[in-house]
Amino acid sequence: MRLLVTGAAGFIGSQYVRTLLDGGHPGHERARVTALDLLTYAGNRDNLPASHPRLEFVHGDVCDQALLRELLPGHDAVVHFAAESHVDRSLRSGADFVRTNVGGVQSLLEACRTTGVRRVVHVSTDEVYGSLAQGSWTEESPLAPRSPYSASKAAGDLVALAYGHSHGVEVSVTRGVNTYGPHQHPEKLIPRFVTNLLDGLPLPLYGDGRNIREWMHVRDHCDAVHRVLCDGRPGEIYNIGGGTSRTNLALTEQLLELCGADTSMIRRVPDRKGHDLRYSLDGSKLREELGHTPRVPFDRGLAETVEWYRANPGWWKRTKDESEGDEGGYGT
């Protein structure tokens, strides 16, 4: 199998590629990967091996039709992770979000259609469903995005599915819960709080911390995406749920404990504009159709993640320094 993976230098895309190159997806130990990434502030070439016999890295933009048409022939499938992914940035300026998360999807699907690449997995998010007080969203729940980020992702989902319907590209869409693990940019909640604590800095907790998120380890998210790639039905949406729900405050307290600090490190900051209260996915379709259940227990995954940041200051200190001056909150 030869795969094009977009956004492959980002948090989840790079985990997906590393697992594939390490032989972590049985039956695909010989898969070849073209890793396409624009290396925005969120992309880091060091997230991937410097060289590997089955990896080719291409520095480029998913909005670049000419590049895609040159690259795609010979590939069996595309896994599309590339996106602008930070809610708070989308509140300050939504333009890049529409460009990449909507225009980039159209560009990619158009190039797949014209070059005859039939299979595409479009990676999306639970945030497209909005916010809910109780219960969980199924794949049939209405789209009700509430931030420029989630609206652009919802629009991208519809564009991707429409290319399947109109042009026969075999598109499946995944919608995953909040994801955590190593190599996540320190602008996001868990790495931001862990690296602040490692630096002895306070934790800027939004509002009253009552917002609830469902969390899944990045390896489990990637495993789900790979199952959808291999056995998911074209034209279908698969929620990647089954994670662990925590209020932001409870998560913060757990991180404080793991880092040997106490609640005096918490600084309440004004809430994010339009902050969604709660996300929760019903993951039964993916479990029943494709047999996916998350394997990394949250407490263990979180402790390992803290240890990874503790052991890799060189990775996050540079990234954090480069983002300094980008004021604004942490993404969840």
- Residues interacting with ligand NAD, by CB under 6 A? 6-7, 9-13, 36-40, 42-43, 61-63, 81-85, 100, 104, 123, 125, 153, 176, 178-179, 185
Q: Which amino acid is at 44?
A: N
Annotated catalytic residue, options 127, 157, 187, 214: 127
CB of 190 to ligand NAD, least distance (A): 10
CB of 80 to ligand NAD, least distance (A): 7
Q: Which is nearer to ligand NAD, 45 or 202 (CB)?
A: 45
Annotated catalytic residue, options 16, 129, 149, 163: 149
- Give the position of tokens 């789209």: 143
Q: Which is nearer to ligand NAD, 175 or 265 (CB)?
A: 175
CB of 262 to ligand NAD, least distance (A): 27
Spatial separation of the C-alpha atoms in residues 304 and 138, rounded to whole Å: 30
Token couple for 209: 């911390």
Longest dimension (CA), the chain: 58
* E-assigned strand segments in the chain: 2-6, 32-37, 55-59, 77-80, 119-125, 170-176, 178-180, 203-206, 212-217, 237-240, 244-247, 266-269
Task: Tell me whether residue 225 is exposed, middle or buried, using C-beta atoms within 10 angstroms of its C-beta: 0 to 12, 13 to 18, 19 or more.
Answer: buried
Q: Which is nearer to ligand NAD, 43 or 182 (CB)?
A: 43
- Name every residue whose Cβ is closer than 8 Å to that of residue 44 and which is 6 or more positions away in sequence: 9, 10, 14, 183, 315, 319
User: What are the start-end ranges of the H helices in 86-239?
Assistant: 87-92, 95-98, 104-115, 148-167, 189-198, 218-231
**Catalytic residue at 127?**
yes
Torsions phi, psi for 266 (to 5 deg): -80, 130
Can you give the three-state secondary structure of 74-101, one letter per residue? CCCEEEECCCCCCHHHHHHCCHHHHHHH
Using Cβ positions, the residue closest to ligand NAD within the complex turns out to be 10
Token couple for 40: 């925005």
Whole-angstrom Cα Rg for the chain? 19
Annotated catalytic residue, options 61, 84, 126, 276: 126
CB of 75 to ligand NAD, least distance (A): 16
CB of 82 to ligand NAD, least distance (A): 4
Q: Which is nearer to ligand NAD, 4 or 261 (CB)?
A: 4
Q: Which is nearer to ligand NAD, 148 or 176 (CB)?
A: 176
Q: Which is nearer to ligand NAD, 36 or 203 (CB)?
A: 36
CB of 66 to ligand NAD, least distance (A): 14
Q: Active-site positions?
A: 126-127, 149
